[in-house]
A and B are shown apart, each in its own frame.
Chain A
Amino acid sequence: MPDLLLELRSEEIPARMQRKAADDLRKMLTDGLVESGLTYEAAREYWTPRRLALDIRGLTARSKDIHEEIKGPATSAPEQAVQGFLRKAGLASVAEAHVHSDPKKGDFYVAHISKPGRAAEEIIAELVPGIIRGFPWPKSMRWGPASAKPGSLRWVRPLQSILCTFGPETEEPVVVDFEIDGIRSGNVTYGHRFHAPGEITVRRFDDYVSKLEAAKVVLDADRRREIILADARNLAFANGLDLVEDEGLLEEVSGLVEWPVVLMGEFEQDFLAIPAEVIRLTIRANQKCFVSRPQGAVEDLSNRFILTANIEAKDGGKEIAYGNGKVVRARLSDALYFWKTDQGDLPDLDQLKSSAEKFGLDPKKPLDQRMARLDHLGVTFHAKLGTQGERVERIKKLAEELAPVVGADPALAARAAVLAKADLQTEVVGEFPELQGAMGRKYALLQGEHPSVAAAIEEHYKPQGPSDRVPTDSVSIAVALADKLDTLVGFWAIDEKPTGSKDPYALRRAALGVVRVVLENKIKLSFSKAIAATVAAALFAYERLGEGAESRGVVAMLDARIQDYRGESRLLPEAGLVAELMKQGLQKAISETSGAADSEREFFDGQRIMELQASLAPFTDDLLSFFHDRLKVYLRDQGARHDLIDAVITPQSDDLLQIVRRVEALGSFLDTDNGKNLLAGTKRAANILAAEEKKRTAIAETVEQALFREDAEKLLFAAVNQAEKEAGEAIQNEDFSAAMLALSVLREPVDSFFERVLVNDEDQAVRANRLALLARIRAATGKVADFSRIAG
């Protein structure tokens, strides 16, 4: 069976697009071949910066002949119908159609169509130009004289040549002949741009690969990766160093060269004063080089970097390494300048006074100055949610309020929150946004902040995803929760919730972050109260910032949302009151620093927050259900049974830690015989009730002891009363195992009730009373979970 070789050679394709483009090429062409009636045994794609190649093996030489019959109208049908049939079937006249007879329908026309199979070459020649014209490049361009006319060919960069050969292994392959915008397919390609500029004539894949290799082109990107990685490791090792591996960089670099040659360059030791991460990113982002560290070192870097050249240089690479070293030094000079500048005073301190005062910043400290400038410049966080400064104001207040709840010092939490975003104004973070938080921590330590404050500046962004580390320091927890809650409430207020796969503000990640921080640190937190506190913090900031502050945006948006739900504005009139109350809470927190846990918690547990909570109810419910969804995903990933989660969560479930504990207790209870049987009994009771409720059978409001006829009824009633009482008390104490234990005594009376008692008694009153007793079982177990949602 013949093989197909296709190569599309172009000017340098961006590294990040190569892999997907080669994959698209394979998919599009193999799909097209199959749709045209061909089959193939194997297909594999290849790419270099200058070519996409496709090797298809065992392609059928021809598509099969196709015979089909198209049924037409009755021979007696009107002329119009017959003409329509002829057009559809592609026949010239009725004479070309056959007449079939059917005992019911009578005579009717049938067209016998035979499509002869086509040669694979013909199919390929037709398919490839279409694929090239419609290729899904993320960005494409026109070029050359052809671009004078509309509709000219587009490609990622100018397409230079097309190689397309086809034929069985035993014969000389042929060129599949086609042309697209003046580029004619052939059997010629070119090797390495500098090492082998001459033409190469190719027959099939095997000699294509070996001739390219001889012309200093490694076709297989994975092999280029392996070469780079192995050579880089060896070169580092030979110099007493370890390569700092970097998957993304390796992928990119292997897409930048056809003939990888690994070399080592160096820079002055002095630059090692710059934080390692900044050095690595500087060298990676600008120069696409790897860094190395002394063998065995964990964080420290060495002053050697590893680059990948595209040539075997005449001098063994001395000039290349020297030249790259010069550029790296220039870049590191900039980085060192940034690092030092960030530790110095800002030139415009005079202008920053009012911002510094507003946040209680120390104008002598560099990071404090940066925060003042972030506020002073009015950098926007989101058009509808105001500036970064206002956001920090809210987060600060909220972190302070949450601090006692999570066991943190409110003053430290407030300080950490105020500095949390300051590094956005540093030069280093301006250059490398991915270092936000990490740089803030370094600068905070340099200016003598409390270690928990410094840690919180970095960790309040965490966790960034399902596998990222969750902060454990209480100050970090307070700021992380405040930051995420403020984001979620803010975007909920402006109705920018995630939809489907769209979540531009990463709100799912933020909510999952809250869930993980709370659960993994075993924090007992009422979410509706936390949401109310977030709103209160916004009101507080709103009140503080005064007339004309953009933060009115957040509060106004929130208020509008509340109005949507409730039809009246409740929030704005409360602002002053809430702010006043929070100020008192704050003063208390400051004046009674130790042993004042209760008064510190006053605001959070106070009357006003409960009122606020009540006015927010529909808004809170909506956001709460979003948290529930994240919790479910999280618990399922942890291996929890989703039916148990559903059985335990209600729309009002407010304490995520409690949900988890209930799920755990329920799970272990259901593993016992008592649990299994009680579940069966409860389900049976619920099913009977559901059936009778559907039939609108009378069910008594309350159970009347006088109507009991059997001992089993009496026993069950007594047991239900007892179990309900005990389970209720246990749940009050959040002792879910005890609640389960209380329920487990129900198993025996429930079983004997179903064994001995016929619910459907002839006496209507007795039946209604028995049904009421069943309803009590459902109610008692419902204290713990909705048993009807449990599988089995």
Chain B
Amino acid sequence: MTIDIPAHMHPSRSFQGLILTLHNYWADYGCVILQPYDMEVGAGTFHPATTLRALGPKRWNAAYVQPSRRPKDGRYGENPNRLQHYYQYQVILKPNPPNLQELYLGSLKAIGVDPLLHDIRFVEDDWESPTLGAWGLGWECWCDGMEVSQFTYFQQVCGIECAPVAGELTYGLERLAMYVQGVDNVYDLNFNGRDGAEKVTYGDVFLQAEQEYSRHNFEHANTAMLLRHFEDAEAECKALLDAGAPASNDSLAMHRMVLPAYDQCIKASHVFNLLDARGVISVTERQGYILRVRNLAKACGEAFLLTQAGGLAA
């Protein structure tokens, strides 16, 4: 696939150009291009288009950008590599096509990474998300020694065996952009590919947010309120799952409220991350919170299998 693009939209010049190139590449492959999920999540995997859609027998190919929030990684805008809010580019292909590695390498070529100039490597990295009850085998993908993507064959999600297995690609967009733009500080990334007065940098867009959110995450987030919100989200998730559950005497009936319930699971997870950043969760409590979120995720995953998208024959 070759597309003639103006220089200012080229990935080596423009952050948004990088995103658009990936969109084009995966759209051309046949993925549905989704928009980011409208909730705070820690990683692209939390998007229901991955977590839930990875379950069940149905074909599912999707790609999207997901803003990801890791409250603990905030550095008040002072670290050139670390952000509490960053973008992941997420591709999920179920079942994984046999040439998934080649497809991935094709996407790197599309954004201008020449594999005969740059050393691209698949280095063992088994992925696990304790909060989602998910694991898979795969690699960190290295470009000249830098991890630019995560490549995973999901084996289990929400504690449920994946059948068939989905392949998940996660690109760290800022890192990749820093690489192709040849920039050492994330805030120096050219966002819109323009020069001079028209140029907008990543820092222009996000530096203030990093500073403000770092203050919020580490110093000001109201922990009493957050603890309450965690309890509320947990209770609401369970209540919605109960309310939407099929009548016990009807084996073919669908679950009617998985997605709203799953939103509460996501919310609980993010609230936990905030509490963790505020340092109010002890080492021993930590495990307990992770387990509570996982139980929600598991319940949602099981309910999802009782829906049309989850493969229930209607």
Q: Interface of A with B (CB < 8 Å)?
A: 11-12, 14-16, 49, 139-150, 156-158, 160, 193-195, 256, 287-289, 307, 309-311, 313-315, 319-320, 322-324, 326-328, 330, 377, 379
What DSSP secondary structure best describes chain B's contact surface? loop
Q: Are B165 and A143 in contact (CB under 8 A)?
A: yes
Contacts of B117 in A (CB 8 A): 313-315, 319
* Cα A11 to Cα B145 with chains together (Å): 19
* B222: Cβ under 8 A from any A Cβ: no
Q: How far is the CA of A639 from the CA of B179 in the complex (A)?
A: 61
Stretch from B4-12, B118-126, B230-238 forming part of the interface with A = B118-126
Q: Is the CB of B116 within 8 A of A194?
A: yes
Nearest Cβ on chain B to A386's Cβ, whole angstroms: 14
Number of interface residues of B (CB under 8 A): 37
Can you name 16 A-B pairs with beta carbons within 8 Å? A142-B153, A143-B95, A143-B153, A143-B165, A144-B96, A147-B163, A148-B164, A157-B137, A158-B98, A194-B115, A195-B116, A310-B121, A320-B118, A320-B145, A322-B144, A326-B146
Contact of A309 among B114, B119, B124 (CB under 8 A): B119
The 0/1 profile, CB within 8 Å of A marked 1, for residues 127-167 of chain B is: 00000000011110001111000000101000000111101
Do B137 and A307 touch across chains, with their CB atoms under 8 A apart? no
- What 0/1 readout, one digit per residue, does chain B (162-184) give for beta carbons within 8 Å of chain A? 11110100000000000100001
Contact indicator B165/A327 (Cβ below 8 Å)? no
Q: What residues of chain B lie closer than 8 Å to A328, measured between beta carbons?
A: 145
Instruction: State the 5 A-B residue pairs at the shortest beta-carbon distance, nearest first.
Output: A323-B144, A14-B124, A324-B145, A148-B164, A12-B122
Helix, strand, loop or mixed for chain A's interface? loop
**With A144-B98, A144-B164, A147-B163: A256-B144 Cβ-Cβ less than 8 Å:** no
List chain A residues, Cβ under 8 A from B123.
Answer: 12, 256, 288
B208 at the interface (CB under 8 A from A): no
Q: A142-B162, A148-B95, A309-B119 are known; give 12 further A-B pairs, CB within 8 A.
A: A139-B126, A147-B165, A150-B163, A157-B153, A194-B116, A287-B145, A288-B123, A313-B116, A319-B117, A323-B144, A377-B283, A379-B283
B→A interface (CB under 8 Å): 57, 81, 95-98, 101, 114-124, 126, 136-139, 143-146, 153, 155, 162-165, 167, 179, 184, 283
Q: A141-B155, A148-B95, A328-B145 are in contact. Are A323 and B118 (CB under 8 A)?
A: yes
B162 close to A147 (CB less than 8 A)? yes
A12 to B117 Cα, complex, angstroms: 20
Contact indicator A11/B116 (Cβ below 8 Å): no
Residue of chain A at shortest CB distance from B178: A326
Contact A319 B118 (CB under 8 A): yes
| Closest chain B CB from A329 CB (angstroms) | 9
Given A12-B139, A141-B153, A148-B163, also A310-B119 (CB < 8 A): yes
Let me know if B118 and A142 touch, CB within 8 A.
Answer: no
Cα(A194)–Cα(B184), bound, Å: 28
Q: Known contacts being A147-B163, A147-B165, is A311 close to B115, with CB within 8 Å?
A: yes
B155 contacts A11, CB within 8 Å? no
Q: Bound state CA distance, A142 and B164, in angstroms?
A: 8
**A327 is contacted by which of B57, B97, B116, B146 (Cβ under 8 Å)?**
B146
Complex-state Cα separation, A145 to B97, whole angstroms: 8
CA distance A195 to B163 in the complex (A): 35
Contact A314 B116 (CB under 8 A): yes
Q: A11-B101, A256-B121, A323-B179 are in contact. Are A145 and B164 (CB under 8 A)?
A: yes
Inter-chain contacts of B155 with A (CB < 8 A): 141-142
Note all chain B residues with C-beta closer than 8 A to A142: 153, 155, 162, 164-165
Taking a contact as CB atoms under 8 Å apart, the answer to whether A148 and B57 are in contact is yes
The closest CB in chain A to the CB of B136 belongs to: A141
A289: nearest residue on chain B (CB-CB)?
B145
Contact of B95 (CB < 8 Å), options: A49, A145, A288: A145
Bound Cα distance from A156 to B101, whole angstroms: 15
A488 CB, nearest partner CB in chain B, Å = 27
Interfacial chain A residues near B97, Cβ < 8 Å: 144
A307, B146: Cα distance in complex, Å:
13
Given A315-B117, A327-B146: A147 in contact with B81 (beta carbons within 8 A): no
Q: Give the Cβ gap from A646 to chain B, nearest Cβ, in Å.
A: 49
Q: Nearest chain B CB to A580's CB is how many angstroms away?
A: 34
Please name the residue on chain B nearest to A142 by beta carbon: B165
Complex CA distance for A140 and B139, rounded to whole angstroms = 14
- Distance in Å from the Cβ of B167 to the closest Cβ of chain A? 8
Residues of B within 8 A of A141 (CB): 136-137, 153, 155, 165
* Chain A contacts for B57, CB-based, 8 A: 148
Please measure, in the bound complex, the distance between the C-alpha atom of A278 and the C-alpha atom of B132, giving whole angstroms.
34
A324 touches B163 (CB 8 A): no
Residue of A nearest to B99 (CB): A160
Query: Taking CB as reference atom, which chain A residue is nearest B118?
Result: A319
- Give Cα distance in the complex from A149 to B162, angstroms: 10
Contacts of A157 in B (CB 8 A): 137-138, 153
Chain B proximity of A432: nearest CB distance (Å): 19
Query: For residue A287, which residue of chain B has the nearest CB?
Result: B145
Q: Which residues of A contact B118 (CB under 8 A)?
A: 313, 319-320, 323
Tell me the complex Cα distance, A157–B151, Å.
Answer: 12
- Cα distance A355–B305 when bound, in Å? 52
A144 B165 Cβ-Cβ under 8 A: yes
Query: In the complex, how many angstroms separate the beta carbon of B172 from the nearest chain A beta carbon?
Result: 13
Q: In the complex, what residue of chain B is closest to A140 when comparing beta carbons?
A: B137
Query: In the complex, what distance in Å separates the CA atom of A274 from the CA atom of B145?
Result: 21
Chain A proximity of B310: nearest CB distance (Å): 14
- Which residue of the partner chain, among A15, A143, A310, A313, contacts B96 with CB atoms under 8 Å? A143
Write the chain A residue with the least CB distance to B144: A323
In the bound assembly, the distance between CA atoms of A16 and B114 in angstroms comes to: 28
Name the one of A147, A160, A311 contacting B119, with C-beta atoms under 8 angstroms: A311
Residue from the list B119, B139, B164, B165 in contact with A313, Cβ < 8 A = B119
CB proximity of B82 to chain A, nearest CB, Å: 10
**Please, which residue of chain A has its CB at the minimum distance from the CB of B81?**
A330
B152 to chain A: closest residue by CB:
A141
Contact present for B184 and A326 (CB under 8 Å): yes
With a cutoff of 8 Å between Cβ atoms, the chain A residues found around residue B153 in the complex are 141-143, 157-158
Query: Which among A16, A150, A309 has the greatest number of chain B C-beta atoms within 10 A?
Result: A309
CA distance A49 to B115 in the complex (A): 17
CB-nearest residue of chain B relative to A145? B95
Taken together as a complex, chains A and B put the C-alpha atoms of A195 and B119 apart, in Å, by 12
Complex contacts, A194 vs chain B, CB 8 Å: 115-116, 120
The chain A residue sitting closest to B164, CB to CB, is A148
Which residues on A sit within 8 Å (CB–CB) of B116? 194-195, 311, 313-314
**Closest chain B residue to A141, Cβ basis:** B137
CA distance A326 to B182 in the complex (A): 10
- Contact indicator B283/A147 (Cβ below 8 Å): no
